[in-house]
Structure 1
Amino acid sequence: MYTLLSDHSTKQSSTSNSKYRGELLADIPATEHRMDLAGISTAVLVSGEGEPIILLHGPGETSLWWMRVIPGLVKNHRLIVPDLPGHGASKVSHDALDTDLVFQWLSELITKTCSTSPILVGHILGGAISARFAVNHGEQIKQLVLVDSLGLDKFRPTPGFAFGLFRFMIWPTEKNFDKFFPHCMYDVDELQNQMGEKWKPFVEYNLECARDKERSDALQLLMKTLGIPKIPDDDLQKIDVPTALIWGRHDKANKLKIAHKVSQRYGWPLHIIEKTRDDPKLERPGPFMDTLSTILQGTKP
């Protein structure tokens, strides 16, 4: 069993050589570990005690995108927050990646970090991976929460979102980041004000990751195989653990109507967070944590 360090305030060094990652980690109440999972050298943030929750981030993101909710969630839960394979400080050649390896990676993450079945919370790409995992490995998890998740229907973003994403992926400059980010965030200026001194290293680290070819290749492969394809309805019907949806009302990538459709079809409660696009955990951490708490307590929206 993987043991948790008891000092939650321990300041850890980054598992990568990025000074920006180190700056972002400095104030997160979690300890960063390096774990071998299915042969993938994985960076994992671990902290807290209590019922375990695994948080899986979105495409092109890292575990650090959960930084605004970790301080609140860690008060009552054991948190396990990895960088997805090929993302951030989790190293793997895209040539070695395939769907079976990703599911083996997640299975080993659970067995090595959780003494009881965890709640699995997946955001966008992390949501698609979580949902696909629940179809065939539901016995390993207690509950499933999908946040603005891919895989539940056809991927049909707005034209502006699609063009901005394509432009940033081809030319990951700060200028193109600034143009694309408002398609993901409801109020970028407000987010920047709230993040304060963390804004610059946040942007710089994301640019650093986007410019790295190995990370870019891994991202494209995961999106092509696990993110963008729709999960068959018959497979989603097989999910037999309690499942809930959290959605940003103004999501331009996975429109709210997808969540309504899926909620009605499978009876999964839908929780809508106002004044957000596709990343409520980053934009509105307070309402996000309140919503997640409501779900875990079994309260209807």
Structure 2
Amino acid sequence: MMNPVRSTHEKEKQTSANRNRTQLTAALPVTEHQLNLSGVSTAVLIGGEGSPMILLHGPGESSVWWMRVIPKLIKDNRVIVPDLPGHGESKVNKGFLDTGLVFDWLSDLIKQTCPSPPILVGNILGGSIGVRFAVNHGNQISRLVLVNSLGLGKFRPKPSFAFRLMRFMLWPTEKNFSRFFPHCMYDVDNLRQGMGKYWDPFVAYNLECARDKERSDALQFMMKNLGIPKIPDKELQRINVPTALIWGRHDKANKLKIAQAASKKFGWPLQVIEETRDDPKLERPNAFTNALHNLINNSSSS
């Protein structure tokens, strides 16, 4: 028999999460859709006209982490921004997540939302998923842009980063969030000021997601299987679409030297963004969109 107290509590948590998410997406020039993609009920933000561009977020994040660049990118592109499987409002319908499902999910997303092969932009975990997808499914995308991407080198975060991350994952309190977040962001005070009225619902929604066991389990599975493992160079050499890199100079978890080595080894153009760590899309939206446009335009003209 269902526990009515527990049921009411779960509904209250869900209502609170929906309210915070709605505050974050309401002003964006996009429409939110719920699509069934290979058995994953997927929340997707879609807006703009032009060449399709898919944006994949980082671990433990959601599509709202792209909120500061979406209004800029839709001026030239049809922008498609999903919540990764098990993240945000994307639920794995059968309750089972595996690596093959993630690639089927991305392939289905492209088929359902893109009239032509999209530009695929991935940040951190989203980058690693994008790289692995490009190795075997490069014909489905037009180019690949990796932002502080996992998978290109050994994952050896600074001890302070690893310690604060583990504490937050074990105890996702507001205090632990505030202690961990500066290891991801170069200037939290500046970010808070830039986000203005959206800061509080942003923090609240992320805490609600972090405290949810299903989301936490999905995050751990995807990091273990798709994020942390280094992709062999022989596989990276199989990528046959134009590929470029954007990197925050002060990344504590995925150091700049990883991007520099990949750029040199594979000939991938690299743009470094100053005064940012692993999430330049959120922390330096103007610099990020300028770098992205420069890389895309240079790739198109070469």
Whether TM-score is above 0.5 comes out as: yes
Deviating 4+ runs (over 6 angstroms): none
* Unmatched 5+ stretches in structure 1: 1-13
Instruction: Determine the structure 1 residue equivalent to 2:55.
Output: 55
**Which residue number in structure 1 is paired with residue 115 of structure 2?**
115
Read off the aligned partner of 1:293 and give its amino acid letter: H
Residue equivalent to 1:222: 222
Residue 17 of structure 1, CA deviation: 5.6
* Mapped partners of 1:137, 1:144: distance in 2: 12
SS at match of 1:262: helix
- Contact 2:52–2:114 at 8 Å: present in 1 too? yes
Match of 2:66 in 1: 66
3-state SS of 2:33 partner: strand
1:91 is matched with 91
Deviation at 1:15, TM superposition (A): 11
Matches within 5 A, 1:133-172: 133-172=133-172
CA apart distance, 1:16: 9.2
> What whole-Å deviation, never above 9, does each CA across 1:62-116 have from its counterpart, x for those lacking one?
0000000000001110000000000000011695111110000000000110011
Name the residue aligned to 1:44. 44
Which letter maps to 1:214? Answer: E
1:233 and 2:229 correspond: no
What SS is found at the alignment partner of 1:297? helix
Offset of residue 18 of structure 1: 1.7
Contact between 2:39 and 2:94, CA under 8 Å: does it hold in 1? Answer: no
Deviations 1:117-150 (A, max 9, x none): 0000000000000000000000000000000000
Percentage identity across paired residues of the two chains: 68
Distance 1:263 1:76, change over 3 A: same
Aligned residue runs from structure 1 range 250-269, under 5 A? 250-269=250-269
Q: If the length of structure 2 is used for normalisation, what is the TM-score?
A: 0.93
Aligned partner of residue 18 in structure 1, secondary structure: helix
Distance in structure 2 (CA, Å) of the matches to 1:155 and 1:74: 33
Tell me which amino acid in the other structure corresponds to 2:128: A
Q: Distance in 2 between matches of 1:273 and 1:118?
A: 24
Amino acid at match of 2:274: E
Match of 2:6 in 1: none
Q: Distance in 2 between matches of 1:56 and 1:91?
A: 16
Using the alignment, how far apart are the partners of 1:291 and 1:260 within structure 2?
Answer: 16
> Aligned residue for 2:34?
34
Unaligned runs of 5+ in 2: 1-13
Amino acid aligned to 1:254: N
Alpha-carbon distance between aligned partners in 2 of 1:255 and 1:95, rounded to the nearest angstrom: 34
Compute the TM-score of the two structures, normalised by the length of structure 1. 0.93
Distance of 1:32 and 1:296 partners within structure 2: 26
Instruction: Say what the alpha-carbon RMSD is for the aligned residues.
Output: 1.5
Which residue number corresponds to residue 100 of structure 2?
100
What amino acid is the match of 1:234?
K
Cα distance in 2 for partners of 1:94, 1:213 equals: 16
Report the CA distance shift for 1:262/1:80 in structure 2 as closer, same or farther (over 3 A).
same
Structure 1 residue 246, shift from structure 2 partner: 0.2
Q: Is the 8 A contact 2:41 2:93 kept in 1?
A: no
> Does the residue aligned with 1:271 lie in a helix, a strand or coil?
strand
Residue equivalent to 1:296: 296
The alignment partner of 1:199 has SS state of helix
Alpha carbons 1:15, 1:43 under 8 Å: kept: no
Q: Secondary structure at the match of 2:92?
A: coil
Residue aligning to 1:23: 23
